[in-house]
Structures are given as C-alpha cells and as structure tokens.
Copies of this chain bind each other. A is one copy, B any other.
Amino acid sequence: MRDPGNPSEPDSCHYAFPLPISPVIDPITLELVRIDILPSGLDEKVEPLRPWQPVGPSEYIPEAQSLRTDLKALRVVQPEGVSFTVENFSELGRLIRWQKWDFKVGFNQREGMVLYDVHYDNRPLFYRLSLSDMCIPYADPRSPFHRKAAFDLGDAGAGIMANNLQLGCDCLGSIYYMGGVLADSHGKPVDMPNVICIHEQDAGILWKHTNYRTNRAVVVRNRELVLQTILTVSNYEYILSFVFNTAGDLAYEARATGILSTQPVDVGLTKTPHPFGTVVHPGVLAGFHQHFFSLRIDPMVAGHGNTVVYDEAVAIPRDPKLNPHGVGYTVRRTEIGTSGGFDLDANTNRTFKVINPAVRNPVNGAAVGYKVMVPPMQPILADADSFHHRRAEFADRSVYVTRYADGELYAGGLYTNQSRGGAGVRSWAERRDSLAGGDPVLWVQFGINHIPRVEDFPVMPAETLRVTLRPVNFFDRNPAIDVPPSRQEVNCSVSVDGNSHGPGGEEGGQGQNTACCASAGCT
C-alpha cells in the first residue's frame, strides 16, 4: 500500500508498506479463492493478523528529499557531431557504422535489443548477440515466497517492457534514438519509441607510453559507442548495453537497479539477523536472491567454422636444465569438442576463447580468436531437485557451449512460465553433440547474489556487471594504434583551481604546450 500519511501522492513508494496478506486468485475465473497470511517472523510460523503498527514512509521521489545543491552541471558536447552513422536496412532494422565496426540492430518482444552481423574492418566477428534470458530465484523457503523465481525475458519480455528513453534523463551527450514496433497481447501493433539510445562516451585513457629517453609521451583516449536499453519489470529496472571501443573490444553490460521486492517482517525484529533477508525499513524485509543473466553468443570469428577452447596457465615442473629456479610456467589449451557446461577457474586463469583454426595470425601463426571475459558468479543455490534449479537451466554453469540448432535461442527454454525444466540450454548441452562441424553457440552466464543492504532502499544504486569480448591474435598489432592522440586543441579541457582556500591554487593554472598536445584553437 502507499503511505497512509500522504494519500494524495500517487508515486509514494508502496514497497515500504508490504501487506501481510496474499490473495489467491483463480486465473480462469479471476475469482478470489482465499487470502493467505504471510509468515513475518524468523521461521515458517504464521501469526494471526494484528492491527497495523504505523511506520513512516521511505520515498525515492525528489520532492520528498532535501536535494543536494552542490553538484555542478557536467555536459558532454560533440561540436562536430557524432562519429557514427545510421542506415536503414529494413523497415525497422538499423545498420550502424562506427570506428571500423559495422553491425545491425534489431529489437523484439522477448530479447529487446539484438545485434546481428558484427564486423570490424569488414572482417566478420559475431553472427548474433543477445541477452537470452534472466532468472531471479529468491532464498526464502517459506510459502508462498518459495515460488519467487522470475524469468524477466521469458515471462515478461525485455522488448515489451522497454522504457521510452528521454533526452537529458537516460542518456547524456549527443544521442540517436531507435524505436521499435511490437505486438500487444491481442496481436495489435504497438509503437515503441526510443527503446534504444546510442551515443559515444569517453572512458579514460586507452593507451599511453612515455619514452624515458626523450620524455615524449603519446596518449590515446578510449572512446566507446554505447547502445543502451532499459526495462522495468514491476519493481526492478535493468539497464542493458552493448559497448564497443576503438581497440576491437565489445562488451555487454548489465546494471541492476530499481526497487527491491519486499515482504512484511515483524517490526520488532531488528536485533537478530534475519535468515532469509535484510530488514531495509521498519517492517520491511528484502529477501536474498540471485540474479542470473545469460548472454547468447553466436560467433563467426573470421568467418564460420569456429572452435571454442579454454587456455590455462600452469606451472612447469622444476628441472635442472630448463627450470632450475622453479619460476617457469606455460599455457595449456583445451579444445571443447562436444557440447557441455563449463566453469571458470581463477586458480588456472582459465580463459574461454572462440578461435578460427582455418585463419592464422600473420605475425605468430596462432589461430585468430576472441576471448570471452566473464565475471565470476555463485551458481544457483536451490538444490538440484528443486524447481528453481530445474527451470533455470542456465544458472548452474558460467559457460555452456552447444552446437547451433534452429530455434534454440532462449537459455531457459521457449516457455518459462510454469516451466518444469528439460527444455533449455542445460538439456541441449547434455546431448553431447560433436562440435567438430564448427558451429558452436556460447551461452555466458553471469550474475550476483544480492544480499540486500539498507543502502539498496528505497531504490538501489546500480550493481554493474560486464562481459567483454576482446581480440586475441585476431589483428596484426594494437588495433587502436591509429586512433589520433589526445590533444588539447581537440579536447579543450580547462584547468581549475578547485576553489582552493590556500596557495595550492596556483598549481591549477597550467596548460602549457607540450610535445604531446599543443593547445591551439581553444582555451
């Protein structure tokens, strides 16, 4: 319910007032079957309803805050325009070109933003890239909370839930917006404006070297192209982006924000840690839960005929001739010859790569490839016999590799609502298909175990995760070697004195010409 003390505010945060009841509705007749009372103590016991004990609100809307007044404006300006171009290749699809990259962008009901035909310098890299599904199982084993396990793509849809992004709110700088057209539940077309925003951003220094003999420095900044979409699924928001850079990297970024899914807890329970959640406000429990994302990568690195391998760094044994001091190590490669599930292993620096054995690097003869840099995740904690585990077919391994098959697009299966497992990526991988034919698909899982903090309420600062696809012996040198150096006459940076109250201020006045950047044409 909303704050009873402020009934006229429609945007009062109702997650601060979880009701202790759960109505059970017949989905066919829409009739009320019964009203369950929720457990609100430390165990499964359910107490009779008692009169509501008044507690205060916790609002996220700005008019409920005493806002900071000392955050000065920061603007991103591109006076010559943007560095990317957009062409139509179909009624709705867009072909983007930026810094030797080209790729097509689609948008559908379930996956939202999808990339197709990704090339760098006209060389093929990825046939199709998309978020395949998510699953968010909750830790609370008590009825009815034991049912909480959302598949935000399969159950709801990243496309149909996409936000209409607003200039100056969701995106900063010079922005190109893409819309989509989807179907509603009655099959009628729905215009979805501004579901993807595209812009460039600066990401600090990409490379630098100072020759200590001549003292000459060369600095190149990292420019990124971001394609961002945001979805709201009831309480939660996900900010999902593809991020390209000028050194051949392509990253997928997920930011989890929005509001925690809350449930009632006895107001007195603030002295004991709760076994299944964190008290984030008086009477409000935010249950522990895991977030699993599954990124589907259909590669065409230097063409088709790709192979997935993983490399590990291993110590070599002591040997009086070759390794007398015990410091030697080398790299061991394992080729993934049949479909299956795989884990990360930081202790061996295990690194998954997509390589093309038929195309060799001109410098060192290695098979050209891209590595997949995956953040570690805790696998699903629900036990192997549980429906959470059986349904979340992707939540137990960091990497699945399958042989491409038509129709196998969604890691949790085609129908996740009330699914019982057996129809997703784990099942496909268990076919033990030979990958010798060279048509592998990678499913990369990443996520967080969200043990809520008080700081995550009433709205949570984003938790950010990134998967990066990075060239490994694909190019013949640093692909960003030809990016123009960072120059003051282009960047027009400003030296400030930090409003300093002491003699330190004079240090701020430096903007001299140097070998690396002549300040001309701007202050």
Contacts and interface: CB of A to CB of B under 8 A. Distances in A.
Given A60-B209, A281-B363, A503-B88, A327 B386 contact: yes
A422 to B, nearest CB: 17
Given A169-B486, A209-B257, A503-B88, A327 B141 contact: yes
A279 interface: yes
How big is the A interface, by class?
A: 35 or more
A419 interface: no
A22 interface: no
Nearest to A473: B454
B454 A86 contact: no
Nearest to A64: B481
B473 A458 contact: no
Interface stretch (A125-133, A295-303, A346-354, A409-417): A346-354
A213 B10 contact: yes
A26 interface: no
B363 A279 contact: yes
A514 to B, nearest CB: 5
A444 to B, nearest CB: 15
A144 to B, nearest CB: 11
Given A170-B205, A376-B376, A499-B85, A455 B484 contact: no
Contacts of A457: 477-478
Given A11-B214, A87-B501, A209-B237, A194 B510 contact: yes
A326 B80 CA distance: 59
A194 B508 CA distance: 9
Among all A-B residue pairs, the 3 with the closest Cβ atoms: A168-B488, A141-B328, A88-B502
14 contacts: A10-B216, A65-B481, A71-B223, A73-B78, A82-B498, A149-B327, A169-B487, A169-B491, A173-B494, A325-B387, A327-B388, A455-B473, A455-B475, A455-B478
